[in-house]
Amino acid sequence: MNELELKYGCNPNQKPAKVFAEKLPFEVLNGRPGYINLLDALNSWQLVREMKEATGLASAASFKHVSPAGAAVGLPLDETLKKIYFVDDENLSEIAAAYIRARGADRMSSYGDFSALSDECDAATAKYLKHEVSDGIIAPSYTDEALEILKSKRKGSYLILKIDPNFEPPSLEHKEVFGVTFEQQRNDIKITADCLNDIPTVNKNISDSAKRDLLIALITLKYTQSNSVCYVKDGQAIGIGAGQQSRVHCTRLAGNKADTWWLRQSPQVLNLPFRDDIKRPDRDNAIDVYVGSESGDLLDGDAWKNVFTRKPEKFTDEAKRDWIAKLDGVALGSDAFFPFGDNIERAHKSGVKFVAQSGGSIRDDNVIETCNKYNIAMAMTHIRLFHH
C-alpha cells in the first residue's frame, strides 16, 4: 500500500489527511499537494484524457473546486482571442493553445486554478502559466525547460504532478460519508459521436464541428458537479454552469458566462485604455465589471482612474444586446434532460444552434417544439452524466 500525507483535508482544521492506494498513479515532481488539489487533479486528468481520445486533439482543462472552469482542444487562436487571453507568443503548440483556450473560457473563475494537460507540457505552455495565478498542474510528462519554468512559480512551491497515462483504476469505486461507505461502478461510459444519432428535431443537420463541440460539452459535464450545462464554441467551453439545484439556473449561469466571453471580444472591450501597470487579474476584474450590470461602479466618480488612462464610454445595455445577438453556432450540452422549454429559450439568447441532452422528460415534446421554434438541432443521447 502506497500513501501520501497531505497538508490538510478540505479545510485547514481537517487534519490528519492522506491519500493511499495499492499504487498511486501520479508522482509529485514539485510542491506539496492538498486534498482539493488532488480532487481537481484526478478529475481534470480524466476529462482531458477522454477529450483527447474523443477528438484526437490535444486537450486541456482549468479546474476550480472539483469542477472545470474551462476545457478546450488545441485549435489555433485568432488575433482577437490572443488579445483577450493575453497571448504574446506567436508560435503556440497545440497543447499550449488548448490550455490557453481552457483558461480563457472564464478567466474570473480560473483564478487560482488547477491545470490539466492531455499531452506533454512544453515550454510554450509553461511560459504562459508562469504569468497566471494557478495552484498546480497535472500532465503525463514535462520537457526539461517546462519543468524548470514551472518550478520557479509561487516561490518554488508550485505543485507539479506527473500522471501515469496508462493507469486504469478498478471498476468499483468507494466513497465514505458520515461513516457510511458508498460503492458504485465507476462511470466509464464512452462519449462518442454515436450518442448524437437520435435527433428528434426538424433540423437534423449537426455539422462535424458541431458534433466535436457537443462531445466536448458532454465530456466536460461528465466531470462537473451536477446539475450542470456547458456552452461550447469552436473547440472550447465558453460557459459552464455547475452545481445548481435548478437546471434552468445552470442554463442561465452558463449562458451569462458565455455572453461575457463574447462581450470580451467586442470593440468596446478590446479598446479599453488600460494602464500599463495593471496586471492580468485586475484587468479581468475590471472587464467583468465593465460588461456587467455594475459598470456604473467602475465609471462613476474617479474609480476608473485606478485601471484606465482615460474614462471609457459606458457600454450600454442596448450595445451589449446588439453584440450578443451576433454570437452564433454555439453548442450546448446538459448532464441530464431539460424538463422545460425555458432552458432552450435562454440558450437561444446566447447563440445556441446545437443541443445534446439525455431526453426522458415527460415534457420532451415541449423541449423539441421550442428547439423547432428556433431551428435548433437537438440530439437525445439517452445518457445521464450526474457527477458528485
Active-site residues, by number, are: 64-65, 227, 388
CA distances 336 to 81, 201, 218, 333, 382, Å, are: 31, 18, 10, 9, 9
DSSP string, 28-92: EEES---HHHHHHHHHHHHHHHHHHHHHSS-EEEEEETTEEEEEEE-PPP-HHHHHHTT---SS-
Q: How far apart are CA 188 and CA 186, in angstroms?
A: 6
- Retrieve residue 351's grid coordinates: 447563440
Number of helices followed by number of strands (H, E) in the chain: 13, 15
CB of 280 closer than 8 Å to CB of 274? no
Q: CA 75, 81, 85, 91: dihedral to nearest 10 degrees?
A: 50
Unique residue bearing C-alpha cell 483556450 = 101
Beta strands in 178-271 (DSSP E): 180-185, 228-233, 236-242
> What is the C-alpha separation between 53 and 47, in angstroms, rounded?
10
CB burial class (10 A; 0-12, 13-18, 19+) of residue 23?
A: exposed
CA dist., res. 113 & res. 63, Å (int): 5
